[in-house]
A and B are shown apart, each in its own frame.
Chain A
């Protein structure tokens, strides 16, 4: 053995140093994108004013030289929107990474076991309810009936899928995938029927389904953020189990993973983060699918780096997409993420075929 081979240290996974570098770069990107998103919008409130307003609100520095409307725009409109973009983007990317590991399927995204379909059914029901019942469907606890039912629908669908997929010997991954597909299709059909019957409210329904961060407010974030961030905390600590799953279920069991418990826990946490995100912003696509893949390509499949990186870069992507969506005339952010995500996905696929031949 040559001297250089002996000297080279063994790589056991991403080092703290490398992880920090990746995350700090990501946070830098996130900060830059967020600043741009707060500094620019469809009106003339620019970076200077925005900075001054934030400085004043947070630190009490500076004298008020701007109109109240500018302060409202920056503090009540742009800032919550950016915060929502961060949290939802992080949640979707993280949940996507978890489902891709758990289900060992590269096409898995946060919605694969029914969250999107269930949340859509809940939200559309809430949107159409006023047409049927003369109920005062005003804000409930400041959240809104749509958000509440979307959240409940998302979680409910996952519970149903899990129940359907359970067998004698646990919950096979293939059963989860198939049950997820079937339940999603059924719920999507119900949503389609409701859209047909929605009449004048069709616009509101379509708007929700395409996804938007426009409805973000501090109240909604105050309720959704703890759920999403809480899920993050627990998921980050489970990196060893997720890494073990990379070797397949049998081997993961031999390495000490309690498969059934892990499936339930990981699914619950990822579904929680996803449903909370969908409740704020509707069903935004591609972030949960593409971000983990790109990061895996760039940094490897080890979850101790992949999960936090997914959070940071997912957040940055969504904030950037929302800025683009706003400046492009208020188009739904889901359209922008699809426009960014689909070509990237095609590129990933081509690259995989070319490099690996499979």
Chain B
């Protein structure tokens, strides 16, 4: 199935575009050569297509959102949401993003409505969106979501807690944007790559791994217990050393657990840790860390893909791949 999809996908997409009852230039035109032949898809264009909109969806916060028509002006309040929209081919519909968005490169040209992690409601309104995609679990504060809704705008809240959650979000947004087939393709791609990783690390002994999210003055933040990051680490073939629900790991617990491998996510932001030797000596210099197995065996790895590993969007698979390579380099020669 995964091998066949890429060839079918463009035809399916074109068919969907042809039958979608929406006259916006963003949805594209018929492919050259006229409409595709009916054999390309079981649902031939014999019945009049059921109108997709108005459409009622349930978002990750359990809210019911009703879209009257296909949204053409989208505001995204989180980088992961932006990436999802662009992965679905609707990048040109974005009229507002955050100042932290960086992928794909063209989004840096779009006016930010979130400055320094603070949502500027005035800018959101000025962008005249017909759909606002927010981030759940207070990453976009509930009060801001309520305020935007009270002003008459539609808000869709995304909060994936697992990889499956990311797939579900991509499909949800795909339906919301009238591009379900694009969503299927993206998810299919992701599933294929994930399968490849799982195959590659199958049977390998999962090392007890500390993924360092943040460290300062004896306080270490790592993957929280039951968190998204922990599940990704497991998929990548590691046994994650987790902290409490917020990811806080006490120094004593760290030493008692004695991880075999340390991945420095902080190296993605701190150039001083990018060099493996400097990283090793810095980490060894921390109180109590020099006795850890990982430090003695020299298994302290600067990890530079933190952004994609902690951004629950389409590129999470890149993060998973990078993690797997860092954890089981021998499987990826």
Contact = CB atoms under 8 A, between A and B. Distances in A.
B281 interface: no
Label chain A's interface by main secondary structure. helix
Contacts of A138: 146
B143 A72 contact: no
Interface in B114-132: 115-118, 120-123, 125-128
Contact of A215 (B128, B143, B246): B143
Given A72-B152, A199-B246, A330-B116, A139 B146 contact: yes
Interface in A52-95: 67-70, 72-73, 76-78
B126 A73 contact: yes
Contact of A69 (B120, B126, B138, B141): B126
A199 B142 CA distance: 15
Interface residues of B, number: 25
A13 B117 CA distance: 52
A49 to B, nearest CB: 11
Contact of A73 (B125, B143, B146): B125
B22 to A, nearest CB: 22
Interface string B106-120: 000000000111101
A172 interface: no
A351 interface: no
B147 interface: yes
Interface in B219-272: 245-246
A45 interface: yes
A330 B120 contact: yes
B137 interface: yes
Nearest to B136: A200
Contacts of A343: none
A70 B122 CA distance: 9
Nearest to B245: A199
Nearest to A137: B142
Interface residues of A, number: 31
A350 interface: no
B122 A43 contact: yes
Given A72-B152, A217-B150, A329 B116 contact: yes
Nearest to A219: B150
A251 interface: no
Which of A201, A207, A329, A330 has the most C-beta atoms of chain B within 10 angstroms of its own C-beta? A330
B160 to A, nearest CB: 14
A81 to B, nearest CB: 9
Interface of B: 115-118, 120-123, 125-128, 137-139, 141-143, 146-147, 150-152, 245-246
Interface of A: 41-45, 67-70, 72-73, 76-78, 130, 138-139, 144, 146, 199-201, 203-204, 207, 214-215, 217, 326, 329-330
Given A144-B143, A203-B138, 15 more contacts: A69-B126, A69-B127, A72-B152, A78-B122, A199-B246, A200-B137, A203-B141, A204-B141, A214-B121, A214-B147, A215-B143, A217-B150, A326-B122, A329-B116, A330-B120
Closest 5 CB pairs of A and B: A43-B126, A330-B118, A199-B246, A69-B128, A204-B141
25 contacts: A41-B122, A42-B123, A43-B125, A43-B126, A67-B128, A70-B126, A72-B125, A73-B125, A73-B126, A76-B151, A77-B151, A144-B143, A146-B143, A199-B246, A201-B138, A204-B138, A204-B141, A204-B142, A204-B143, A215-B147, A217-B147, A329-B116, A329-B118, A330-B115, A330-B118
